[in-house]
């Protein structure tokens, strides 16, 4: 087991390129992580990383060993999955990610319910609106709004979620309501957007008589936190594009009002992504199926 722990630690250090980050991810100290890498290097008789004060770079031997190490861990995971299938007692830890709005509204409240059904499965939930790399971040599943770029991942579609352009009554009183998508590109209106490293240019896909048009928009404020966008809109600072489920309570209570309803946004796909393996881990399958059912029932009509 100690050797397997060393291999697991090596894989996380390799993927994150940072000893401290890998240690946090594995819930061990940086000293333990460093010791495990040293033990592995001693056993193999090679250096796996070149270490400087700022950088941790895999050696040629480290790159080669990583390919085999991931196969070892995947084989162990599949063997454990076979045992879990036989015993029907799934156990272990799942690392799950979701966008902030989706995670806060649907996934986080359901985690304790899932754990009550399967008390031997622990959940580590990470909420972030930034783009995530499942392999690099050691995630078993990631809930997702949009279209995945990585074709090597498996995808479980949950729903097509309607979206809405909306603003506060105070904003509409001060700026007027946009009459067409062309108005969104004028100085009269501010569009508030989600920005994170690697985000594409802002284009809102609006459904028009001649088809979907991608309208380039801009505004004075950007953030990588979806809830902050909503709070800015509530305070009257601009127009936002949001899935209806994130703002439907504000819409029902009149704190936000729809705008440009003649050109509604294209719905966005809500799905769950997971790694492509020959055999899916039973605990991952159970969790995904549970959440799909929960989210589908909870989405506003």
CB neighbour list of residue 194: distance below 8 Å, 6 or more residues apart: 129, 222, 223, 224, 226, 229
Report the pLDDT averaged over residues 19-45. Answer: 86
Count up the domains in the chain and report the number: 3
How far is the C-alpha of 294 from the C-alpha of 301, rounded, in Å?
14
Q: Per-residue pLDDT for 165 more than 80?
A: yes
Identify the CATH number of the domain in which residue 61 sits: 1.10.10.10
How far is the C-alpha of 121 from the C-alpha of 283, rounded, in Å?
7
Q: Per-residue pLDDT for 275 more than 50?
A: yes
Report the pLDDT averaged over residues 46-60. Answer: 82
Instruction: Please tell me the predicted confidence (pLDDT) of residue 255.
Output: 96
Q: Per-residue pLDDT for 59 more than 70?
A: yes
| Residues 149 and 289 both lie in one domain | yes
| Residues 75 and 6 both lie in one domain | yes
Report the pLDDT averaged over residues 67-96. Answer: 74
Instruction: Tell me the pLDDT tens digit for each residue of 170-187.
Output: 999 999 999 999 999 888
| Residues 13 and 25 both lie in one domain | yes
User: Which of 57-61, 75-79, 91-95, 148-152 shows the lowest mean pLDDT across its residues?
Assistant: 148-152
How deeply is 60 buried, as exposed, middle or buried, from its count of CB atoms within 10 A (0-12, 13-18, 19+)?
A: exposed
Instruction: Please tell me the predicted confidence (pLDDT) of residue 230.
Output: 93
| Residues 114 and 244 both lie in one domain | no
Please tell me the total number of residues recorded for the chain in this structure.
301
Q: Per-residue pLDDT for 87 more than 60?
A: no
Strand runs (DSSP E) across the chain, as ranges? 49-51, 56-58, 92-98, 121-127, 141-145, 153-161, 163-167, 193-194, 203-208, 211-216, 222-223, 240-243, 257-258, 268-275
How far is the C-alpha of 134 from the C-alpha of 10, rounded, in Å?
17
Share of the chain above pLDDT 90, in %: 28
| Residues 180 and 251 both lie in one domain | yes
Instruction: Please tell me the predicted confidence (pLDDT) of residue 134.
Output: 73
Instruction: Please tell me the predicted confidence (pLDDT) of residue 85.
Output: 57
Regarding predicted confidence, which is higher, 81 or 139?
A: 139
Give the pLDDT band (50/70/90) at residue 83: low
Instruction: Tell me the pLDDT tens digit for each residue of 201-225.
Output: 578 889 988 888 888 888 888 888 8
| Residues 114 and 183 both lie in one domain | no
SS percent in the chain: helix, strand, coil, step 5: 45, 25, 35
Instruction: Please tell me the predicted confidence (pLDDT) of residue 162.
Output: 92
How far is the C-alpha of 226 from the C-alpha of 166, rounded, in Å?
14
Which of 56, 85, 114 is a domain's end point? 85
Which of 58, 85, 112 is a domain's end point? 85
Segment 38-43 long-range contacts (CB within 8 Å, at least 24 positions apart): 39/2, 39/6, 40/6, 40/7, 40/9, 40/10, 43/3, 43/6
How far is the C-alpha of 107 from the C-alpha of 295, rounded, in Å?
8
**pTM (global) more than 0.85:** no
| Residues 152 and 172 both lie in one domain | no
Q: Per-residue pLDDT for 142 more than 70?
A: yes
| Residues 258 and 171 both lie in one domain | yes
| Residues 78 and 209 both lie in one domain | no
Q: Per-residue pLDDT for 278 more than 60?
A: no
| Residues 230 and 96 both lie in one domain | no
Give the pLDDT band (50/70/90) at residue 164: very high
Q: What is the dihedral of CA 31, 56, 4, 98, to 10 degrees?
A: 100
| Residues 129 and 276 both lie in one domain | yes
> Chain-wide mean pLDDT for the chain?
85
Instruction: Please tell me the predicted confidence (pLDDT) of residue 131.
Output: 75
Residues facing residue 211 across a β-bridge: 208
How far is the C-alpha of 284 from the C-alpha of 149, rounded, in Å?
22
Residues facing residue 93 across a β-bridge: 122
Helix (H, G, I), strand (E, B) or coil at 295: helix
| Residues 167 and 262 both lie in one domain | yes
Domain, as residue range, for 184: 163-266
Tokens of 226: 């979806």
Helix (H, G, I), strand (E, B) or coil at 143: strand
Identify the CATH number of the domain in which residue 250 sits: 3.40.190.10
Give the pLDDT band (50/70/90) at residue 86: very low
Sign of the alpha-carbon torsion through 92, 298, 126, 10: positive
Report the pLDDT averaged over residues 137-159. Answer: 79
């Amino acid at each position: 087991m100690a050797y397997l722990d060393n291999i697991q630690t090596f894989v996380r250090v390799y993927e994150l390129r940072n000893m401290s980050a890998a240690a946090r991810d594995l819930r061990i100290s940086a000293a333990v992580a460093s010791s495990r890498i040293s033990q592995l290097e001693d056993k193999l008789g090679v250096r796996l990383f070149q270490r400087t004060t700022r950088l941790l770079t895999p050696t040629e031997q480290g790159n080669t060993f990583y390919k085999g190490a991931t196969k070892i861990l995947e084989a162990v995971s599949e063997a454990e999955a076979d045992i879990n299938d036989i015993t029907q007692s799934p156990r272990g830890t799942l690392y799950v990610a979701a966008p902030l709005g989706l995670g806060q509204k649907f996934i986080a409240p359901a985690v304790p319910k899932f754990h009550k059904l399967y008390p031997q499965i622990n959940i580590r939930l990470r909420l972030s609106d930034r783009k995530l790399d499942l392999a690099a971040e050691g995630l078993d599943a990631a809930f997702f709004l949009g279209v995945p770029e990585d074709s090597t991942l498996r995808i479980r579609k949950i729903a097509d979620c309607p979206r809405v352009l909306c603003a506060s009554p105070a904003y509409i009183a001060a700026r007027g309501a946009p009459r067409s998508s062309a108005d969104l590109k004028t100085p009269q209106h501010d569009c508030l957007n989600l920005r994170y490293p690697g985000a594409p240019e802002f284009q809102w896909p609006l459904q028009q008589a001649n088809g979907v048009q991608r309208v380039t928009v801009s505004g004075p404020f950007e953030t990588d936190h979806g809830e902050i966008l909503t709070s800015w809109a509530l305070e009257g600072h601009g127009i936002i594009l949001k899935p209806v489920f994130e703002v439907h309570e504000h819409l029902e209570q009149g704190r936000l009002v729809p705008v440009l309803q003649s050109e509604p946004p294209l719905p966005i796909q809500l799905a769950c992504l997971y790694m492509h393996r020959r055999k899916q881990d039973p605990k991952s399958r159970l969790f995904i199926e549970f959440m799909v059912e929960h989210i589908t029932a909870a989405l506003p009509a």
